[in-house]
Amino acid sequence: MKIIVLGASSGIGMEVTKLLIGQGHELGVAARRLDRLESLKQLAPDRVVTAMIDVTDDDAPQRLQSLISELGGMDLFFYASGIGKQNRSLTPDIELNTVNTNAMGFTRMVGEAYRYFAQRGVGHIAAITSIAGTQGLGPAPAYSATKAMQNVYLQALEQQANSRGLKIRFTDIRPGFVDTDLLKGDNHYPMMLKPQQVARHIVRAIHNRRHVVVIDWKYAILTPLWRLLPRPLWRHLKI
């Protein structure tokens, strides 16, 4: 299978890429920091091609198409790009950069992959969103808002593809709290997951062609309850 991974230079994206390489797939891996992709290429030089793609750049879709051509096609598009920071002081740059990357960048690149697969009539788009889109999180307003947008956008594309008779599969991947830079700070988060642990769940969900997967089982139980909390109660929670 020919797979494009966008956001492969660190964290969950890198761990998923390692697993996919280990399974023998051909990969095109991309990120803003090209030098960080070299270690992935060394794992299988004959099956991995790299590219520098910043999802916030206007030419990012053209760069993606070039990577697809270099790989010789694309069967699976795996989107792992994204940023997020706690922003209790609502610093403008943090909020706007988060929206630019997680909303504009996401729409730009997932849309390009969708159009590629629509021309072929078949394909698979998998994207890391988050359980943060379930309810608005006070410590990270733009992050939780953009993750909710991503959830709804994938759902809308799935409905559109079905109505158009396109055989495009979607997998919306919603991890719980993961031990990454986003959650570094003074607050302690419960049930923290390791990127390697999350990556194993993701690869299994992709191969099983899941539509929506919440990682892990503890969050799969808690998230529906979290969604049911009434707004008056939610606004008074200390997070």
* Tens digits of residue pLDDT in 109-122: 999 999 999 999 99
Task: Tell whether the model's pLDDT for residue 185 goes beyond 60.
Answer: no
Q: What is the pLDDT of residues 122-145, one digit of tens each?
A: 999 999 999 999 999 999 999 999
Q: Does 137 reside within a domain?
A: yes
pLDDT of residue 177: 81
> Rounded to 5 degrees, what are φ and ψ at 135?
-145, 155
Q: Does 127 reside within a domain?
A: yes
Q: Does 163 reside within a domain?
A: yes
Please list the residues that pair with 170 across neighbouring strands: 125
Task: Tell whether the model's pLDDT for residue 205 goes beyond 70.
Answer: yes
Q: How far apart are CA 239 and CA 237, in angstroms?
A: 6
The single-letter code of the amino acid at 83 is: I
- The lowest-confidence range among 34-43, 82-91, 147-156, 229-238 is 229-238
pLDDT of residue 232: 86
Please list the residues that pair with 31 across neighbouring strands: 52
Domain range for 181 is: 2-234
Query: Which structure tokens are listed for 6?
Result: 């966008």
Strands 122-128 and 76-79: what pairing?
parallel
Q: Does 221 reside within a domain?
A: yes
CATH number at residue 162: 3.40.50.720
Pairwise pLDDT comparison (106 vs 217), residue with the higher score: 106
pTM beyond 0.85, yes or no: yes
Q: Does 206 reside within a domain?
A: yes
Number of domains in the chain: 1
| Strand residue runs (E) in the chain | 2-6, 26-31, 48-52, 76-79, 122-128, 167-175, 212-215
Q: Does 239 reside within a domain?
A: no
pLDDT of residue 166: 97
Task: Tell whether the model's pLDDT for residue 74 goes beyond 60.
Answer: yes
Q: Are 182 and 140 in contact (CB under 8 A)?
A: yes
Q: In what order do the strands lie in the sheet with 212-215?
A: 48-52, 26-31, 2-6, 76-79, 122-128, 167-175, 212-215
Q: Does 91 reside within a domain?
A: yes
Task: Tell whether the model's pLDDT for residue 190 goes beyond 80.
Answer: no
Q: What is the pLDDT of residues 140-172, one digit of tens each?
A: 999 999 999 999 999 999 999 999 999 999 999
Q: Does 217 reside within a domain?
A: yes
Q: What is the pLDDT of residues 29-40, one digit of tens each?
A: 999 989 889 999
